[in-house]
Amino acid sequence: MQKCVVLMLCWCVCVAWSQAAEPAVAPNAAAGRTYRNPLPVAKDIADPHVIRADGFYYLYATTHGRGYDVYVSKDLVNWTNGGPVFSGRRGAWAPDVFQDRQGDGKFYLYYTDDADPAQPRKKRIGGAVADRPTGPFEDKGTLVMEAIDAHLFRDDDGRYFLYYANLAGGFKMMAQTMAGPLKKTGEPKLILQPTEPWEKKSGWVTEGPFMLKHNGTYYLMYSGTGADSPNYGIGYATAKNPLGPFEKFAGNPIVSRGGKVFGPGHHCVVEGPKGGLWLVYHQKWDDTQSYRRFLAIDPMHFDDQAVIRARATRETDEPAP
């Protein structure tokens, strides 16, 4: 991955991206045949969120903590850093970007950062907007205090829902009805919290929500236990309504540690360039308690019983998307 070495070069790249009809993307070293985790994006990267727009994939993630860069790919394997797209307060984590295709067409960034620079553990969720996925995103202010890991979902009937982890008194997953991408309506609803042994193994945590809808059922995917632990994993719960009640899948976690894989979690799901669903997530570099993580992808699918099936791989050649 090429990195800009001076500030002026960074600025020039950002300007070029904002004016170009199509972003420049690194060539596919795997020639579309195979990939191998870790993906060569950044040495320490976590909490990835990927969208697809105009034939390109755009990745936003936790990296340097001073806002977010955007990474661009044609194939989900080879990524080019397109430079900064948002600069907020320090402690920037777990971005989510939503394109309002059925609305104004704009791109909405949901960020987590420090609500108070003097209190780095006091987090907030805010919103920002841009005309293109490469930004720049204009900050529109705070949406939720004492919260992290926002994810916006638009249902087939046009209703918007914001899912996030509330930190007040412990990790609790909340659902907030929205009148639009940045306009809340009504009160948030508690929909999920740590109850299962795997969610409490290394800290009582349920976080990183991601919503899928499949054959009329809502699949609330999430990560459980402490994100600094090799025991971090992915599970899901289902409901017939986007506000629940949600029932956790008895086979959770569906992705967890094993072999060389440690702490797989905080994911998103995106359709691959040839179809099929792909899990984009992070793994830990080792089995220590730390926040050193890397980017990974692996296929997932719904089986004939409507159960989500997925696995995590590392250092093995796998068929590319």
pLDDT for residue 149 is more than 80? yes
The pLDDT, as a whole number, for residue 116 is 81
pLDDT in tens, 169-207: 999 999 999 999 999 999 999 999 999 999 999 999 999
pLDDT for residue 52 is more than 70? yes
The pLDDT, as a whole number, for residue 186 is 96
pLDDT for residue 297 is more than 80? yes
Please, which residues bridge with residue 277 across strands?
271, 300
Closest to 173 in 3D by CA, of 120, 109, 239: 239
Residue pair 278/298 in contact (Cβ under 8 Å)? The answer is yes
Can you tell me the distance from the alpha carbon of 108 to that of 58, in angstroms, rounded to the nearest whole number?
A: 13
Instruction: Give the pLDDT band (50/70/90) at residue 32.
Output: low
Can you tell me the distance from the alpha carbon of 264 to that of 249, in angstroms, rounded to the nearest whole number?
A: 18
pLDDT in tens, 58-97: 999 999 999 999 999 999 999 999 999 999 789 999 999 9
Residue pair 93/14 in contact (Cβ under 8 Å)? The answer is no
DSSP-derived secondary structure letter, 24: -
Per DSSP, the three-state class of 46 is: strand
The tokens for 153 are: 């979902």
The pLDDT, as a whole number, for residue 89 is 81
The tokens for 296 are: 């990974």
The pLDDT, as a whole number, for residue 36 is 97
The pLDDT, as a whole number, for residue 216 is 97
Rounded to the nearest integer, the mean pLDDT of the chain is: 91
